[in-house]
C-alpha cells in the first residue's frame, strides 16, 4: 500500500484497517456499526483503558508499527488477565497525523490483531481521528467465566508473593536502545514486544490467588499498590529472583545492577499474585517474597527488599518532571 | 482547587478525578484496580470508542470543561443507545498537558459523571497521561437487556424513516459561535451540550425498528450509512421537517438555509430509525421519509430529498483537507 492516511481519508483508512481483522466466536458484531457487540457469558464484563503517545510510550525509530500494535494490545490484555479474566476484545482509538504512512497504520492493526490472537481476543471496533501526535487509546474487555475478580486489596498476612512471566527484560532492552545499541537481541525484542503470560491470570484465580496485578510500572511499584490496597507490608527476597547471566553481562557492560531492572523495570507485564502458603504453585510461578505484617496504622502498606526499603527508581508518574 | 495537573501528579490527579464519581448498581468494581467490572446481565456487551481532540472536536474558549465532559460522554452513550442498548458505563483515556488547570480536569469529570447519570451509566475507569493536546478517548458500554441489536443493515423497502431528538440545533449554534456571537442561547447551549434521547434507542428496538443510527455526522450522511449497509435508497421529504422559527431567524440573519443545518448538521445525536409502516410510533417520533427501493446493483444505496440528490455539505471526513 502506498500513500498517507490523509490520502486514504477516514473511510478509506477504516476500510483498510477493518479488512485485516479476524473475528472470534465471542464477536457477535464487529466494526462498522454504532457499536460492537461482544459476548459476556459470565454476566459481567471486565474493562480497562490505556493511552499510549508517540515519543512518550513508544518511538517510531525504535519500534515498528507492528511491534507498537503488539505492545499496546499486550499491556491492556494483561490488565484483563490480572483480574482473573479471559480477554475477549479490544477497541482502538487512533489519532494519526495526515502524513502518517498508510502502511504504518495497517501494520499497527496487524500487530493489534496478532497480539489479540495470542490472548484469544479480537479487535472489534474503534475510531480514527486526525491529530498531531500518533496516539493509541486501547480498551480491552474480558470475561471472568464465573471467577471472582482478583483485586489488589485481598493480600493476607502470611501469603506468599509469587510471580510468573518476564521481569526486567524490557528495562534492560530499553537501556541497550538508549545507549544506541540494537543487541543483545533478546532484550531489545522483549522491550519492543512483551509476552505477558495471559493464561496465568485466570489460572492464578483458580488456584486461589488473594490479590493479583500485572507488572507494568515495575515489580516494587506495582506490589506497592497491592500493599496499599490490602493494608499490608510485603517483603521480597533478592536472592529468590533469577537474574539471567546475559542480563548480568549487560548490567556489567553499562554499569547498572541488573536487580534494578528486575525489581523496578516495567512493561514486561509479568503477573504477580499473593497466595495462601498452602497453595501448590505450578512450576512456572516463582515465590519471591511474603506478606509479612499488617501495615502500621496511619501509614500505607509498603514493600521492602530483604527487610530494607527499596529506594531506587520507583514507579512511573506520568506527570512527573522529565 | 488550585494548580495544574502537573503539580497534582498522576496519582494525585487520579485521586481527585475518581473522588467525584458515583457508582450505579451495574458497577461491580470501579476505578483503582487493573480493570473495572461491570454487570452485563444480557450475556453480551455493547462497546464503542470515540476520540475527541482539542481544537478539532472542541474549543476551550467556546465550551467549559464541564460541557466538554457532557458532550463527549453524550456522543458515546448515544452510540450505545442507537444499538437498542441501555448504557451502563464509560471509561476515559485522558491526555492532558502538564500545565492544564486541575479544575479543568475535575470539571470535565463532573460533566462526564452527570451525562452518565442522565443515561443511567457511570464512569468506571480510565487512564491519564501527559501530552501536548487535550485529548479524550471515551469508551461506552451497554446492555441489550435481551434485545436483538438494531443494525444499520436492516432497513427494508417500504419502511418509514422516523427521527426523534434535536436536528440542526448544534450546527446552528456552531454557526452563531463562528460568527463571534454567544446567542441565541438555546442554540449555543445545544452545541455545547447535546441532549440525545437515550431512552428512544431501546424503545425503538422494542417497537420493531429495522435499522437505527444516531445522528453524529448529519442526518443525510448518517442515513447514507444505513442506505449503504442495507442496500436501499431512502427519500426524505423536506416539508416533513420542523424548522423552528428561531432557527429560521438565525438562518436569515446569517444567510444560511436552515434546512442545511437540519439535514446536514451533526452532533445533536438525534436517533433515526426505520420501521415497518404498520408500527404505531409514539408522538415524539417524526416520520420524515421512506425507504423507497432496493439500491441499483453495483451502486451503494443513496439518500435523496424530495427525490433529488442532497448535494450540499455532506458528512464529516476526519482526514479531509480543512
> Tens digit of pLDDT for each residue in B32-41?
999 999 999 9
d(CA B214, CA B242): 18
Q: State the best of A8, A47, A112, A212 to mutate against chain B, taking most chain B CBs within 10 Å.
A: A47
pLDDT of A180 > 70? The answer is yes
The pLDDT tens digits of the residues spanning A63-90 come to 899 999 999 999 999 999 999 999 999 9
Please tell me the predicted confidence (pLDDT) of residue A11: 87
pLDDT-derived band at A321 (thresholds 50, 70, 90) equals: very low
Whether residues B43 and A46 touch (CB distance < 8 A) is answered with no
* Stretch A170-174: mean pLDDT: 93
B99 touches chain A (CB under 8 A): no
pLDDT of B172 > 50? The answer is yes
- Nearest by CB to residue A56, choosing from B29, B52, B130, is B130
- CB contacts of B80 in chain A (<8 Å) are 34-35
- Of the candidates B304, B317, B319, B318, which has an alpha carbon nearest to the alpha carbon of residue B263? B304
Return the exposure string of A114-143: e unless at least 16 CB atoms fall within 10 Å of the residue's CB, then b.
bbbeebbbbbbbbbbbbbbbbbbbbbbbbb
- Nearest by CB to residue A35, choosing from B32, B46, B320, is B46
- Please indicate if the annotation marks A50 as binding a ligand: yes
pLDDT of B313 > 70? The answer is no
Whether residues B129 and A56 touch (CB distance < 8 A) is answered with yes
Centroid of chain to Cα A188:
17
B317 touches chain A (CB under 8 A): yes
Give the closest-approach CA distance of A273 to chain B in angstroms: 13
d(CA A24, CA A30): 10
Please tell me the predicted confidence (pLDDT) of residue B314: 45
If one counts every other C-beta atom within 10 angstroms of the C-beta of residue A59, the result is 11
Q: Are strands A44-53 and A36-39 parallel, antiparallel or unpaired?
A: unpaired
Give the closest-approach CA distance of A4 to chain B in angstroms: 10
Give the closest-approach CA distance of A224 to chain B in angstroms: 13
Instruction: State yes or no: ipTM above 0.90.
Output: yes
If one counts every other C-beta atom within 10 angstroms of the C-beta of residue B242, the result is 11
Helix (H, G, I), strand (E, B) or coil at B5: helix
B175 touches chain A (CB under 8 A): no
B51 touches chain A (CB under 8 A): yes
From residue A281, how far is each of A78, A93, A147, A211 by CA, in Å?
Answer: 20, 38, 18, 15
B128 touches chain A (CB under 8 A): yes
* Stretch B287-307: mean pLDDT: 92
Please tell me the predicted confidence (pLDDT) of residue B312: 62
pLDDT of A315 > 60? The answer is no
- Of the candidates B56, B270, B207, which has an alpha carbon nearest to the alpha carbon of residue A130? B56
For the record, the C-alpha cell of B288 comes out as: 420524515
Q: Which residue is closest to A99 within chain B, CA to CA? A: B319
pLDDT-derived band at B316 (thresholds 50, 70, 90) equals: very low
Centroid of chain to Cα B133:
22
From residue B110, how far is each of A49, A96, B107, B302 by CA, in Å?
Answer: 19, 29, 5, 41
Please tell me the predicted confidence (pLDDT) of residue B300: 79
Give the residue, A300 or A280, on which the prediction is more confident.
A280
- CB contacts of B75 in chain A (<8 Å) are none
Whether residues B152 and A53 touch (CB distance < 8 A) is answered with no
Q: State the best of B57, B87, B112, B139 to mutate against chain A, taking most chain A CBs within 10 Å.
A: B139
Q: Which residues contact A271 (CB under 8 A, 6 or more apart)?
A: A78, A81, A82, A163, A164, A165, A196, A197, A200, A201, A204, A212, A213, A214, A215
- Please indicate if the annotation marks A217 as binding a ligand: yes
B38 touches chain A (CB under 8 A): yes
- Please indicate if the annotation marks B206 as binding a ligand: no
The pLDDT tens digits of the residues spanning A186-215 come to 999 999 899 999 999 999 999 999 999 999
pLDDT-derived band at B299 (thresholds 50, 70, 90) equals: confident
- Nearest by CB to residue A45, choosing from B38, B130, B319, is B38
* Stretch A137-165: mean pLDDT: 98
Domain boundaries, chain A: 10-143, 152-309
Torsion sign, CA atoms A119, A264, A217, A294: positive
* Stretch A39-45: mean pLDDT: 98
pLDDT of B322 > 70? The answer is no
A40 touches chain B (CB under 8 A): yes
CATH fold, domain B152-309, is Phosphoribosyl-aminoimidazole Synthetase; Chain A, domain 2 (3.90.650)
Give the closest-approach CA distance of A34 to chain B in angstroms: 5
A90 touches chain B (CB under 8 A): no
pLDDT of B317 > 70? The answer is no
d(CA A181, CA A189): 12
Helix (H, G, I), strand (E, B) or coil at B303: strand
Crossing angle of the two packed helices B169-178 and B245-254, in degrees rounded to 10 = 30
pLDDT-derived band at B319 (thresholds 50, 70, 90) equals: low
Question: What percent of chain A shows pLDDT beyond 70?
Answer: 97
Crossing angle of the two packed helices B185-192 and B65-81, in degrees rounded to 10 = 70
Please tell me the predicted confidence (pLDDT) of residue A322: 39
The pLDDT tens digits of the residues spanning B10-43 come to 889 999 999 999 999 999 999 999 999 999 999 9
Helix (H, G, I), strand (E, B) or coil at B95: strand
Least confident of A110-119, A250-259, B92-101, B116-125: A250-259
**CATH of region B11-143:** 3.30.1330.10
A208 touches chain B (CB under 8 A): no
From residue B221, how far is each of B55, B60, B126, B217, B311 by CA, in Å?
Answer: 23, 27, 31, 6, 11
Give the residue, A187 or B299, on which the prediction is more confident.
A187
How far is the first Cα of chain A from the last one, in angstroms, to the nearest whole number?
A: 37
- Nearest by CB to residue B317, choosing from A9, A43, A89, is A9
A48 touches chain B (CB under 8 A): yes
B130 touches chain A (CB under 8 A): yes
**CATH of region A10-143:** 3.30.1330.10
The pLDDT tens digits of the residues spanning B207-262 come to 999 999 999 999 999 999 999 999 999 999 999 998 999 999 999 998 999 999 99
From residue A144, how far is each of A73, A81, A96, A113, A262 by CA, in Å?
Answer: 19, 9, 34, 22, 30
Same fold across B11-143 and B152-309: no
From residue A211, how far is each of A9, A266, A271, B79, B167 by CA, in Å?
Answer: 46, 19, 11, 35, 50
Amino acid at each position: 500500500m502506498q500513500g498517507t492516511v490523509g490520502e486514504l481519508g477516514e473511510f478509506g483508512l477504516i476500510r483498510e484497517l477493518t479488512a485485516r481483522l479476524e473475528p472470534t466466536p465471542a464477536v457477535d458484531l464487529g466494526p462498522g456499526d454504532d457499536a460492537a457487540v461482544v459476548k459476556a457469558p459470565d454476566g459481567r464484563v471486565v474493562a480497562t483503558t490505556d493511552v499510549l503517545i508517540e515519543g512518550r510510550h513508544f518511538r517510531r525509530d525504535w519500534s515498528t508499527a507492528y511491534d507498537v500494535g503488539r505492545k499496546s494490545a499486550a499491556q491492556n490484555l494483561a490488565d484483563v488477565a490480572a483480574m482473573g479474566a479471559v480477554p475477549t476484545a479490544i477497541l482502538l482509538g487512533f489519532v494519526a497525523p495526515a502524513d502518517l504512512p498508510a502502511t504504518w497504520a495497517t501494520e499497527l492493526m496487524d500487530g493489534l490483531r496478532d497480539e489479540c490472537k495470542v490472548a484469544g481476543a479480537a479487535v472489534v471496533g474503534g475510531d480514527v481521528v486526525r491529530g498531531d501526535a500518533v496516539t493509541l487509546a486501547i480498551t480491552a474487555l474480558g470475561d471472568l467465566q464465573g471467577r471472582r475478580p482478583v483485586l489488589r486489596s485481598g493480600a493476607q498476612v502470611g501469603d506468599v508473593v509469587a510471580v510468573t512471566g518476564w521481569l526486567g527484560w524490557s528495562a534492560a532492552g530499553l537501556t541497550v536502545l538508549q545507549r544506541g545499541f540494537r543487541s543483545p537481541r533478546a532484550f531489545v525484542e522483549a522491550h519492543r514486544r512483551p509476552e505477558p503470560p495471559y493464561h496465568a491470570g485466570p489460572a492464578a484465580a483458580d488456584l486461589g490467588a488473594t490479590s493479583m496485578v500485572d507488572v507494568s510500572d515495575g515489580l516494587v511499584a506495582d506490589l506497592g499498590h497491592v500493599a496499599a490496597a490490602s493494608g499490608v507490608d510485603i517483603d521480597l527476597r533478592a536472592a529468590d529472583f533469577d537474574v539471567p547471566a546475559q542480563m548480568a553481562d549487560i548490567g556489567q557492560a553499562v554499569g547498572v545492577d541488573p536487580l534494578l531492572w528486575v525489581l523496578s523495570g516495567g512493561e514486561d507485564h509479568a503477573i504477580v499474585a499473593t497466595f495462601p502458603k498452602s497453595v501448590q504453585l505450578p512450576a512456572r510461578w516463582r515465590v519471591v517474597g511474603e506478606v509479612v505484617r499488617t501495615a502500621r496504622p496511619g501509614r500505607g502498606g509498603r514493600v521492602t527488599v530483604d527487610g530494607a526499603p527499596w529506594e531506587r527508581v520507583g514507579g512511573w508518574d506520568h506527570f512527573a518532571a522529565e
